[in-house]
Homo-oligomer: A and B are copies of this chain.
Amino acid sequence: MSLIVQKFGGTSVGTTEKIKAVAEKVAGFRDQGHDMVVVVSAMSGETNRLISLASDVQEKPDPREMDVLVSTGEQVTIALLCMALKAKGYDARSYTGGQVKILTDSAHMKARIQNIDVDNMRADLDAGRVVVVAGFQGVDEAGNITTLGRGGSDTTGVALAAALKADECQIYTDVDGVYTTDPRVVDSARRLDKITFEEMLEMASQGSKVLQIRSVEFAGKYKVPLRVLSSFVDGPGTLITLDEENETMEQPVVSGIAFNRDEAKISILGVPDAPGVASKVLSPIGDANIEIDVIVQNVAADNTNAITFTVHKNDLEKAKSVLAGVAEDLGAREVVGDDKIAKISIVGVGMRSHAGVASKMFKTLANENINIQMITTSEIKITVIIEEKYLELAVRALHSAFELDK
Q: Is A93 an interface residue (CB 8 A)?
A: yes
Q: Is A64 an interface residue (CB 8 A)?
A: yes
Q: In residues 45-86 of chain A, which contact B (Cβ within 8 Å)? A: 50, 53-54, 56-59, 61-62, 64-66, 68-69, 71-72, 75-76, 78-80, 82-84, 86
- Other-chain contact of A79, B56, B65, B87 (Cβ < 8 Å): B65
Residue of chain B at shortest CB distance from A98: B98
Residue of chain B at shortest CB distance from A52: B16
- Other-chain contact of A87, B19, B57, B87, B143 (Cβ < 8 Å): B57
| Given contact pairs A20-B57, A56-B16, A99-B143, A79 touches B68 in the complex (Cβ within 8 A) | yes
B96 x A57 contact (CB < 8 A): no
Q: How many copies does the complex hold?
A: 2
Given the complex, which residues of B lie within 8 Å of A86, measured CB to CB?
Answer: 58, 62, 65
Interface flags, A87-100, vs B, CB<8A=1, else 0: 10000011010110
Prevailing SS type, chain A contact patch: helix
B76 x A64 contact (CB < 8 A): no
Complex CA distance for A80 and B58, rounded to whole angstroms: 8
- Other-chain contact of A65, B57, B69, B83, B145 (Cβ < 8 Å): B83
Given the complex, which residues of B lie within 8 Å of A68, measured CB to CB?
Answer: 75, 78-79, 82, 94, 96
Complex CA distance for A43 and B59, rounded to whole angstroms: 20
* A263, chain B: closest CB distance, angstroms: 34
Q: Which residues of A contact B (CB under 8 A)?
A: 16, 19-20, 50, 53-54, 56-59, 61-62, 64-66, 68-69, 71-72, 75-76, 78-80, 82-84, 86-87, 93-94, 96, 98-99, 143-145
Q: Supply 24 A–B pairs (Cβ within 8 Å), ascending by A.
A: A16-B53, A16-B56, A19-B57, A53-B80, A54-B79, A54-B83, A57-B87, A58-B84, A61-B83, A62-B82, A64-B93, A65-B79, A65-B83, A65-B86, A66-B79, A69-B75, A69-B76, A69-B79, A69-B80, A71-B75, A72-B72, A72-B75, A72-B76, A99-B144
